[in-house]
Amino acid sequence: MSAVSTSSKDALVRIRGLRTRLGGKVIFDGVDLDIPRGGITAVMGPSGTGKTTLLRHITGQLQPDAGEIVVDGRNLAQLDRNGLFELRERIGYLFQNSALLTDFSVFENVAFPLRQHARLPEELIRNIVLPKLQAVGLRGAAELMPAELSGGMARRVALARAIVRDPMLLIYDEPFVGLDPIALNQVLKLIRVLNQTLGLTSIVVAHELSAVSRVADHIYLLAAGKVAAHGGPDELVRGDTDWTRQFFGGEADGPVPFHYPARDYASDLGFAKERA
């Protein structure tokens, strides 16, 4: 399990020596990571380990204290505002809560990013939006309102919206939360099919190992400011480190302790004082 096993040449995102502090806390302490082009890479790790922060680095919303982040051959530190804006325009996002506009129909939600960026003829918008809705199996739901959708359908509409401008990179932030088994399987299938048919590169941040193992080509396990493990799903699940055992084995104790750091128990209970 090497820290970075992918050839950097094939990496859409290449991160080296990433160091970040937020609010006085070290979030990344020398992270190297490659997101291979055309692949599906999962980023996992205990809560608060910095997964969302990593996504903010990759999209240029947050500058690191040190290290290099290169996306599609561009070093983010060297991009001006316009350059960063152009980069973000080529990245699609799927958020956990789907974030649909409640007053707009399914069709208008998917059309929204197109209308925001250019004055396109209505016929062209239809010709772009309907194939995306077809791809997620919801062309027939085009005129429904978000309140009429199940959670799984809402997520698929959000996915159609995330791909409507043909991004190079699609980021899924917790895409499996709250889905029933059928909706979960549909989303898993869509992630794979869309990645392949649209020639995308995908990053999936998620906690559900069983779902991640079925969709990801590579997994990065982040922990304690570092890449704790990296490799294919099978390789990681078999991994024999404290982190992989605890995280993939779901053990209550390990490097992530059950107890939040606390003062000495005896003195908290007043015993130490009594003895003195």
**Does residue 178 bind ligand ATP (CB under 6 A)?**
no
Size of the site for ligand ATP (CB under 6 A): 12
Q: Which residue lies nearer to ligand ATP by CB, 25 or 189?
A: 25
**Does residue 64 bind ligand ATP (CB under 6 A)?**
no
**Two tokens at 273?**
């004082």
Residues 6+ apart with CB under 8 A from 225: 26, 27, 28, 29, 30, 31, 50
In angstroms, give the least distance from the CB of 206 to ligand ATP. Answer: 9
**Does residue 22 bind ligand ATP (CB under 6 A)?**
yes
**Two tokens at 134?**
């077809």
Q: Are 142 and 107 in contact (CB under 8 A)?
A: yes
**Does residue 50 bind ligand ATP (CB under 6 A)?**
yes
Q: Are 12 and 201 in contact (CB under 8 A)?
A: yes
User: How far apart, in whole angstroms, are the C-alpha atoms of residue 5 and residue 40?
Assistant: 15
What's the one-letter identity of residue 35?
Answer: I
In angstroms, give the least distance from the CB of 262 to ligand ATP. Answer: 18
**Does residue 53 bind ligand ATP (CB under 6 A)?**
yes
Q: Which residue lies nearer to ligand ATP by CB, 56 or 165?
A: 56
Q: Which residue lies nearer to ligand ATP by CB, 50 or 175?
A: 50
Find the part of the chain contacting ligand ATP (CB under 6 A) among 20-28, 101-109, 196-204, 241-249.
20-28
The only residue of 14, 51, 132, 218 in contact with ligand ATP, by rule CB under 6 A: 51
**Does residue 52 bind ligand ATP (CB under 6 A)?**
yes
Tell me, rounded to whole angstroms, the distance of Cα 25 from its chain centroid: 22
**Does residue 49 bind ligand ATP (CB under 6 A)?**
yes
Q: Which residue lies nearer to ligand ATP by CB, 30 or 113?
A: 30
Site for ligand ATP in 27-46 (CB under 6 A): 27, 45
Rg (CA), the chain: 21
Closest CA to 128 of 98, 85, 89, 161: 161
In angstroms, give the least distance from the CB of 80 to ligand ATP. Answer: 23
Residues 6+ apart with CB under 8 A from 30: 17, 18, 19, 67, 225, 226
**Does residue 48 bind ligand ATP (CB under 6 A)?**
yes
- Matching residue, tokens 């869509």: 190
**Does residue 47 bind ligand ATP (CB under 6 A)?**
yes
User: Coil, helix or strand for 105?
Assistant: coil
Chain contacts with ligand ATP (rule: CB under 6 A): 22-23, 25, 27, 45, 47-53
